[in-house]
Amino acid sequence: MTTPRCPQNTKNDLEGLLSSLIERGVADDQNFPVLRQYSAEGWEVSFAGAEHVSFAMGDIDYGEIHRELSEKRSYNAKLIDGGLLQLMYRFNGDLLVKHRLAFYPSPSLRPFQDDPEAYMRDELFIDIVSRRIVPFPLRFDYDAEAAKDVEHPHCHLTLGDIKGCRIPVSAPLTPRWFIEFVLRNFYQTDEHDFVSSLPKHGLDFPSTITGNEAALMHMVVPYGVSA
């Protein structure tokens, strides 16, 4: 059976992005995406170690969650400061039905933006006493089947794995938009521009936000910028 275009293109998009992270030295370890068929028409873009992502959903200390995911290599990329990226997509043919895009910052190392030159010299921080942030995960979820107007937007942002936190997002995120979001907000500095060197946008997912959700504060994913 020929792989539908959208799952294959999503996999290709993510492969190019991971290669860019490696080339720029911002990724310390990586698992390239794999394409799996899980039903007659169902395809998923995932990675080796994805079977362990459910560990992060339990009522467990964040430091333990990060350690377990890191040790089991349950990520697409482990970034230079210990942050973990997970990107998983599910399709029915060419139709996106679900995605889980998560960022787990390191609970024990300073963020890259605190001292980028130290990281670019391949030095790790030992003294963490003066940390000024409390790390927490963030996750962009999309689920067409579970969607319920306002209460459970098709696509939403969850901060800190808080069950009631579902900030509406206008559309599903492509791998390019998610990785740019993380790099721009947690790694970009005046001296280190990781975003402009990323591969160009090559995918678009259409808007899924409802009128009621759009009337609330929400996040907008730009549409129509693919090459």
What is residue 87's predicted lDDT score, i.e. its pLDDT?
97
Residue 192 CA to its chain's centroid (Å): 20
* 116 has pLDDT over 80: no
Rounded mean pLDDT of 103-113?
Answer: 76
pLDDT at position 227 over 60: no
Residue at 77 is within a domain: yes
Predicted pLDDT of residue 47:
95
Of 47, 36, 91, 43, nearest to 69 (Cα)?
A: 47
- Assess if residue 226 is contained within a domain: no
Range in 31-45, 56-70, 127-141, 143-157 the model is least confident about: 127-141
Q: 1 falls in which pLDDT band (50, 70, 90)? A: low
Identify the domain containing residue 140 by its residue range. Answer: 5-214
- The answer to whether residue 123 scores a pLDDT higher than 70 is no
Residue 127 lies in a domain: yes
pLDDT in tens, 56-70: 666 788 889 999 999
pLDDT of 171 strictly over 80 = yes
Reply yes or no on whether the pLDDT at 179 is more than 60. yes
Per-residue confidence band for 127, with pLDDT thresholds at 50, 70 and 90: very low
Residue 224 falls within a domain, yes or no?
no
Q: Is residue 141 part of a domain?
A: yes
The pTM of the full predicted model, rounded to 2 decimals, is 0.87
Does any domain span residue 38?
A: yes
Q: How far apart are CA 202 and CA 227, in angstroms?
A: 5
In a domain, 105, yes or no: yes
Total domains in the chain come to 1
**What does the pLDDT read at residue 30?**
95
